[in-house]
Amino acid sequence: MKMKMLVSLLILLSLPQKMHAQQRPNLNGTWRLNVALSDYGDLQGPSSRTDIIEQHENAITESVKDIQKHQAQRYVLHFSTDGKETIFAHGTGIHVAPVTIQSISANWQGDTLILKEAITYDESDLLATYRYTLSPDKQKLKINLILGAPKPAATFIFDRVKGQ
């Protein structure tokens, strides 16, 4: 009897830790690119960008508005965070100059959202990996872009728009 009580107590004490470990960072909100803190490496980065992220359990919608080479772009990404790949039919990929997104998938690794995009750039197929990390104070969102090499090709730093 004492053994059953001890096991029950241990299970109850471990529940809050397990429940906390399963909670994911809340990326909801409007995020404005901080150009001064961002590092585009050898890539041409946007001169401005605003992302609106709507996160509902395992589904994320990311609406992006940016200015790249003095040209405004808008696009919307819909994806699940369960690792399931969304493939766009031939010719219907999302065009984000200078690339076209052919498929997208995402999953959580700890507190980091890993987003993978199969892209076409200059008639070459590539895998772009984005690592979304929220700062401890939840006011900055860092997105590292990885293109093959382990070192990020670019790092985008976003500030949370006040009131979000």
Q: 12 is written with which tokens?
A: 């109850």
Q: What is the DSSP letter of 148?
A: S
Query: How many separate helices (H) and strands (E) can be counted in the chain?
Result: 1, 11
What's the average model confidence in pLDDT over 12-35?
72
Q: What does pTM read for this prediction? A: 0.83
Residues in the chain: 164
Cβ contact 71:97 at 8 Å: yes
The CATH number, out of the four listed (3.40.50.11260, 3.30.450.20, 2.40.128.20, 3.30.1780.10), of the domain defined by the range 26-160: 2.40.128.20
Cβ contact 160:33 at 8 Å: no
C-alpha–C-alpha distance, residues 96 and 69, integer Å: 12
Encode pLDDT of 58-84 as tens digits: 999 999 999 988 899 999 999 999 999
C-alpha–C-alpha distance, residues 93 and 138, integer Å: 32
What residue segments make up the domains of the chain, in order of their start? 26-160
- C-alpha pair distances (Å), 140 with each of 2, 66, 162: 49, 18, 11
Query: Which pLDDT score, from 0 to 100, does residue 22 have?
Result: 59
Encode pLDDT of 123-154 as tens digits: 899 999 999 999 999 999 999 999 988 889 99
Poorest-pLDDT segment among 17-26, 33-42, 122-131, 141-150: 17-26
Instruction: Give the other-Cβ count within 10 Å of 26's Cβ.
Output: 10
